Amino acid sequence: MGNLSIRSVSKQFRAPHGGATLALDDVSLEIAANECFVLLGPSGCGKTTLLRCIAGLENPDSGEIWLSGERLDTEPPFRRKVNTVFQSYALFPHLNVADNIAFGLEMDGRKRRDCDAAVSEMLRLVNLEGMDKRVPNQLSGGQQQRVALARALAKQPDVLLLDEPLAALDLKLRRSMQFELKALQARTGITFVFVTHDQDEALALGDRIAVFSEGTIRQVGTPRQIYDEPASRFVADFIGETNVLPLIRHGDAVEVAGQLQPASSVIGATDSDAVALCVRPENVRIDPAGALSATVSSAAFLGSIMHYSLTLGDGTMLRMNLAADATEQPTVGSSLHVSLRHLRAVGP
Amino acid sequence: MTSQSFPGRGPRWASAPALAFLVVIVGGPLILIFLYSWLSRARFGVGISWTISTDGYRKVFIEDALDGTTRLNAQYLRIIGNSLLLAAITTVATLVVAIPMSIWMATRAARFRSLLVLAVTIPFWTNTLVRTYAWMLILRDNGIVNNRLVGWGIFDQPVKLLYTNTSTLIGLVYTFLPFMVLPIYSSAERFDFRLAEAAVDLGARKRQVVARVIWPNLRSGVIAGVALVLVPATGAFLQPELLGGGKSLMIGNLIQQQFAASRNWPFGAALSIMLLLVVGIVLVISRLVGHRSTAPSLVA
Amino acid sequence: MARGFDIRRFPGFAGASWAVLAFLYLPLVSVVVYSFNANRLVTQWAGFSWKWYGEVARRPEIRDALSLSLRLAATATIFATLLALGGALGLTAMNRRGSGLALALIGAPLVIPEVVSAIATLAFFVLIDLPLGFNALLLAHTAFCIPFALLPIRARLNEIDHRMFEAAVDLGASRWMTLRRVTLPLLGPGIMSGALLSFIISLDDYLISAFLGGPSTTTLPVFIFGMIRNGITPAVNALSTLLLILSVVITSFSYYFGQKRRLS
């Protein structure tokens, strides 16, 4: 129970003075039951629109959405076994914590006094015991977040939609909430669909990630696949840090910063739609036997890593990360040779 | 498919009762009074007779003497002129006071500011009759001011203060001052006084700061305030009635008399239409000069 | 440039402002003070006395006028607030043009001079044979109270985060349940503030009540007006003071709800 199937969904928004933006352009996705699925992309890429289509707050122009083998998009929102944790929570300010959590249960026709057991169970689930009589503006951001979570989970949905739920929290709290959410998802067995623009959050939380851009899905995969095997320059650039170099082919060889390398040493170089070369900064290695000579132009200490900017012989800039405790750390201005591991040719 | 309408939006028909009610209770009388202004006076008793006539409007300008001759009648024109003049002076007087006061209020600390707003709002919502009566108590022959003047030996006799144009004017200024202060204040409150500091930093003199930076930001409040004072002051009734007596009549009193005492409904209706025209012109002008219509926040 | 230059300081503005506040309040204070004057000559102070309040309490026609005014204000407030509430909710579903027209109609009583409303409504009621008296007063009062009730309700409605409604729908609320359990409770302070303003405005009216009440239905302001016309007695001061206190209390309440509305 709880597998979502999104089939060719499109949604267009018309601007007040003519013109239209395509928020979703023929999007198809299969989300498995009990999966923590992340929709990742820059703001305005359509990920929230997709979430709202699943919730029933927007209607797709075309396409279908199915949940557990049943058509979902034709149902009114209140008949969908789907609930949402809203961005900035949307807690009802006139109701206390317990009444907020009980709200959805009452809408199913239950009497308020019959909800108490379910409410306390939810409060326990999100570690808010004893907070039931507080009103939302007496709670911290993190506590409000937990109430929003409890309120949506109280309805025991098949799918929980989370719209940037951690965006309003500070960095430390965000990190710890990510672990809690992951644990909660595993414990409840509910399918999570999580929208975020924060790639670290996506990597930390997602069983699988769909990277969105301009209303289309650019890549779907596990965090490791997305990071290690980006399908496009956009994905490589958006997830983590990457060096992007022009791809110049010379018959069987590929030119990398003025040096010819056999195409077989570059992953994906034979793909016809490849347009650029990508290499992660941590895959740039100091290698006395390396083909590329470089000068260190700047260095920065970033805690666990050292970050270097290198200038290659032909003037190309290259970023390199070394573990901060590595024994060999070059000085600014020094010359060295580097080699590139996992060099990958990608599409646009 | 689910309903496309936005959740939380009320159904459109919800406003139907209010709109229907107002069309009948406000629209009906207005249309009627327009009709009446083009009809003639009932020959006997109260009301109108259903024959078309321009007598109502004619009476504003022309007097029919008993011998059948007609001549220009300045009596009513003088009252209309007096109304416009008093309303204009009231507007200017309240404006002159309200601008510095609004700027002063807007530059106070937040807590004190909201107390000051309450202090200006209370008279605004206080019973107009009582507020006007208070000035009768102060200005009449043996009123508070005259008692002091005579008691301190400044004058032997009480000075005539009540039942003059001046006492009407005091009453109008007193009644409508909050109408001017509140909208200008709400513009001034929105103004970020750091902008004025930036202007000073860029070398502007204080006069230039006021003219170039502060004034443009007060403009919408001033336009709203002028409309809010000019419109009701032109049609004022209570202040000239109680403080002006027979000496300082305004168009409002003239209209009231046509329906209460003299019983000339077409004339009263014609005067009403003329007053509405003045109001309409003021509102249209204020709309045109105020590039953005800022709804004055009269309600705290 | 002078030392200690401060653009927030305008010499003379503070003095002028305090003078304005004094101008606004001294007349009201003098009414209150002289309401305790023992002397029958209103402004000749002759010691402190409660006797005029006693006289006000004893006169049955004052009690009748007060009770009529309160009943009228309360009824008009209920009708005006309900109509304004529906109006505000319906306005949200209209397009720009429609809501502009509707707002112009609702705001009309604010810009039409009271004397014109009074005589026009009188002529209209005479034409449709509606007898002058309480019902005529109720219709007219309701009409001019609607815009005052609508303003704070509409302001509050615009302030509510639209995600509240989405959250309600997401949690399974129907349109009616959303209205009952979310919209109306959140509008509470706005409704309260609108109702209080309606009440004050109804209580404030003299001219329309004088025309539409007819000879036997006398509201408190109409009664006070008559008293003033018959010669000023200290009883007028006592009655005015009571009306003043009522206005101040209601305004302060309304202001309090307005603040609450803003803070939440």
Question: Given CB atoms, is B8 within the 8 Å cutoff of chain A?
Answer: no
Report, as an integer, the average pLDDT of A103-107: 92
Contact C167 A92 (CB under 8 A): yes
C-alpha B203/C-alpha B200 separation (Å) is 5
Quote the crossing angle between the two packed helices B74-106 and B215-234, to the nearest 10°: 140
What is the predicted ipTM?
0.89
Of A269, A256, A267, whose CA–CA distance to A316 is shortest? A256
Q: Are B170 and B139 in contact (CB under 8 A)?
A: yes
Task: Show the tokens assigned to B249.
Answer: 């009549």
**Residues of chain B neighbouring A75 (CB-CB closer than 8 A):** 2
- Residue A311: half-sphere exposure toward Cβ, Cα within 13 Å: 9
**Interface contact B19-C31, CB threshold 8 A:** no
Query: Does residue B43 surpass a pLDDT of 80?
Result: no
Q: Which of C164, C169, C172 sits opposite A92 (nearest CB)?
A: C164
Condensed to tens digits (0 to 9), the pLDDT of residues B100-151 reads: 999 899 888 888 998 899 999 888 888 999 999 999 989 888 788 888 888 8
Closest among C151, C143, C144 to C257, alpha carbons compared: C151
Please judge whether B27 and C91 are an interchain contact, meaning their C-beta atoms are less than 8 angstroms apart.
no
DSSP string, B223-272: HHHHHHHHHHHHT--HHIIIIITTTS--HHHHHHHHHHTS--HHHHHHHH
Q: How many CB pairs under 8 A join A and C?
A: 63
Interface test mutation site (partner C, options B21, B22, B194, max chain C beta carbons within 10 A)? B22
> Which pair of tokens denotes residue B89?
């002076």
Cβ contacts of C24 on chain B, cutoff 8 Å: 119-120, 123, 174, 177-178
**What's the pLDDT tens digit per position in A62-85?**
999 999 989 999 988 888 999 999
- CA–CA separation, B158 and A280 (whole Å): 97
pLDDT in the model for residue C6: 64
- Is the pLDDT assigned to residue B295 strictly greater than 80? no
C-alpha to C-alpha distances, A228 to A225, A231, A241, A278, A344, nearest whole angstrom: 5, 9, 12, 11, 10
Cβ separation B7–A76 shorter than 8 A: no
Reported as a single tens digit per residue, the pLDDT across C191-219 is 998 999 999 999 999 999 999 998 889 99
Under DSSP, the state recorded for A34 is T
Chains with ≥3 CB–CB distances under 8 Å to A: B, C
What pLDDT is recorded for position C262?
53
**pLDDT at site A52:** 92
Tell me the two tokens of residue A338. Answer: 């580097």
Instruction: Write the residue in A88, A104, A137 that is nearest to C171 by C-beta.
Output: A104
Question: In sequence order, which ranges of chain C are alpha helices (DSSP H)?
Answer: 13-34, 51-58, 60-91, 96-111, 114-127, 134-159, 162-170, 175-178, 184-204, 207-212, 220-229, 234-263
Q: Of C163, C173, C181, which is closest to A90 when you measure between CB atoms?
A: C163
Provide the β-strand partners of residue A62: A10
Is B68 in the A-facing interface, judged by CB distances under 8 Å? no
Give the mean pLDDT of A329-338: 90
Looking at the predicted structure, is the pLDDT value of residue A345 above 90?
A: no
**Token pair for C94:** 């209209």
CA nearest to C18, candidates B169, B122, B100, B228:
B100
**pLDDT at residue A259, as a whole number:** 79
Question: Which contiguous run of DSSP H or E holds residue B90?
Answer: helix B74-106
What is this structure's pTM? 0.84
Please tell me which residue, B247 or B132, carries the higher pLDDT value. B132
Instruction: Report CB contact under 8 Å: B7, A57.
Output: yes
CB C107 within 8 A of CB B28: no
Q: Which of A67-76, A255-264, B157-166, C78-87 has the lowest mean pLDDT?
A: A255-264
- Indicate the average pLDDT of chain A: 89
C-beta separation of C261 from C155 below 8 A:
yes
Chain A partners of B7 at a C-beta cutoff of 8 Å?
57
HSE-CB for C119 with a 13 A CA cutoff: 32
Q: Model confidence over C15-50: pLDDT tens digits?
A: 889 999 999 999 999 999 988 988 877 777 878 888
Chains in touch with C (3+ beta-carbon pairs under 8 Å) read A, B
Q: How many CB pairs under 8 A join A and B?
A: 10
Show residues of chain A in contact with C182, CB under 8 Å.
Answer: 92
- Answer whether residue A304 shows pLDDT above 50: yes
Q: How confident is the model at residue A210 (pLDDT cuts 50, 70, 90)?
A: very high
- The dihedrals phi and psi of B152, each to the nearest 5 degrees, come to -85, 0
Q: How confident is the model at residue B1 (pLDDT cuts 50, 70, 90)?
A: very low
- Among the listed ranges A73-82, A257-266, B53-62, C27-36, which one has the minimum average pLDDT value? A257-266
Return the pLDDT at C261.
54
The yes-or-no verdict on residue B42 having pLDDT over 90 is no
Chain B nearest-CA distance from C88, in A, is 7
User: Is residue A85 a contact partner of residue A165, using CB atoms and an 8 Å limit?
Assistant: yes
Interface contact A77, partner C, CB < 8 A: yes
Tens of pLDDT, residues A235-244: 988 888 899 8
The pLDDT mean for chain C works out to 88
Cα B25 from Cα B21, distance rounded (Å): 6
Mean local confidence (pLDDT), A28-38: 93
Quick one: tokens of A72? 């979902």
Nearest to C111 among B14, B200, B283 (CB): B283
Q: Among residues C95, C76, C52, which one has the least CA distance to residue C194?
A: C76
The string of DSSP letters for A47-74 reads HHHHHHHHHTSS--SEEEEEETTEE-TT
